[in-house]
Amino acid sequence: MDGPPARSRDALVFSVLDSEIRLAILDALYDRTVVPGPFSGETSYSSIREAVGIDDSGRFNYHLDRLTDEFVIKFGDAYRLTERGREIVRLRRTGTLTEDPRVAPKRIDSSCYLCGERVEVFYANGFVVTRCPSCSGAVDTEIFPTGTLSALPYPPSGVDGIDIETVFERVHQRYMCVYRAMARGFCPTCGHDVHVTLPRRENARGEPDLLRHVTHDGLVVLACTHCGQHRVTNPLSATDDRDPMADYFIDRAVDPGWDRLATALSWDVDRRADGMVFETDDAVRFVVDEELDVTRES
Ligand SMILES: [Zn+2]
Ligand SMILES: [Zn+2]
C-alpha cells in the first residue's frame, strides 16, 4: 500500500503560515519596512519582537526561523520581507481570504444599457453587481438576480468604508485595465497568454460555453491559458485605449469605465463572416475580428 503522498512545495509553504505569531511577524515587518512606499527597507530584530509582543526569545526565534528564506530575509542584524512575504500581507489586507461583507442595493445615477432605467448596485459574495430593476438584464444564471447587467469580483477591502457609488466607479475602472491588458493578449494576473473567443455566427447563446450565461450578443470571452482567469466583456470597450475606439470615445466625451462599457453595449450588434459588427447611435459602424482588431467602416 502506498503511504500518504509527499507534501507539495505549495502545501509546505502554506503550512508555514499556519500560525498567528508568524502572521503577526509578517505584519510587523511589513508596517516597518514597506508602508507607505513600494521599496522595502529593513528593521531590527528587537523592533519586530516588541511589535509582536513575545517575551520568550526561544519561542519567538523559532517562529522567525520558520519564516526565514521563504518570507523573511536576514541581512546582518536586520530583517526584511521577500516579495512573497509582502504579497501574503497584501492578500490578507484585501480581506479576500476571510471577510464577506454585504452592501444593500442602492439606486445610482447611471443608466441601464438595455432600457435606460437607473441602475442599482450592491455587493455580495465578493461581487459588485450592477442591476436594472426594470428589465431582464444581460446575465442569466441563478447566482445573480434577474436584471443583472454586470457582476465583477472585487475584494472586501474595496467596499469597506467606501460609498457604493465610488465602488461602482472604481470597479469598472479597474476592470477596464484588466480588459485592456487581456485584449492586448496577456493576463494581468499571471502574465501568460490570453485566448480570445468571439461567439459564432449562428446560435450565439451557448457558443462558446463561457457565454452560456449571458443574453447579450455584443460580448466576447477573454481567457488566460495558464491561470484560467476568464472575462466576458464587450470588445469595443476593451480596446478603448487604441484607435479607432479611443478617438471615438474621446471625441464624444464618453469616460473610461462603466460609461464606455454601457455605451458600446447599447449599440446594435450583428455578425458577419469577418467578425462582429456594431452600429452606433450616430450611424458609425465598427467591425471586430478574431484578433480583436477593430475597423471603422463609416
Ligand atoms: Zn434595463
Ligand atoms: Zn492568468
Which triple of cell numbers denotes residue 240? 478603448
Which triple of cell numbers denotes residue 123? 455587493
Q: Average of pLDDT values for 78-82?
A: 93
Q: Is 164 helix (H, G, I), strand (E, B) or coil?
A: helix
Q: Which ligand sits nearest to residue 147's alpha carbon?
A: 1
> Mean of the per-residue pLDDT values for the chain?
92
CA-CA distance, 139 to 136, in Å (whole number)? 8
**b/e code 144-172 from CB counts within 10 Å (16+ = b):** bbebbbbbbebebbbbeeeebeebbbbbb
Q: Is 277 helix (H, G, I), strand (E, B) or coil?
A: strand
Tell me the domain boundaries of the chain. 9-94, 236-296
The alpha carbon of 89 and the centre of ligand 2 are apart by a number of angstroms equal to 21
Q: Is 148 helix (H, G, I), strand (E, B) or coil?
A: strand
Rg (CA), the chain: 24
Q: What is the pLDDT of residue 199?
A: 79
**Architecture field, domain 9-94:** Orthogonal Bundle (1.10)
Q: Which ligand sits nearest to residue 110's alpha carbon?
A: 1
Tens digit of pLDDT for each residue in 200-259? 645 445 455 667 888 889 999 999 999 999 999 999 999 999 999 999 999 999 999 999
Q: Average of pLDDT values for 32-39?
A: 70
The beta-carbon contacts of 32-38 under 8 Å, at least 24 apart in sequence, are 33/80, 33/81, 34/81, 34/86, 34/89
pLDDT band per the 50, 70, 90 thresholds, residue 38: low
CB within 5 A of ion ligand 1: which residues? 112, 114-115, 117, 132, 135
The yes-or-no verdict on residue 274 having pLDDT over 90 is no
Q: Average of pLDDT values for 138-155?
A: 94
Q: What is the pLDDT of residue 208?
A: 58
pTM for the structure as a whole: 0.90
**Region of residue 25 (left: phi > 0; alpha: psi -120 to 50; beta: else):** alpha
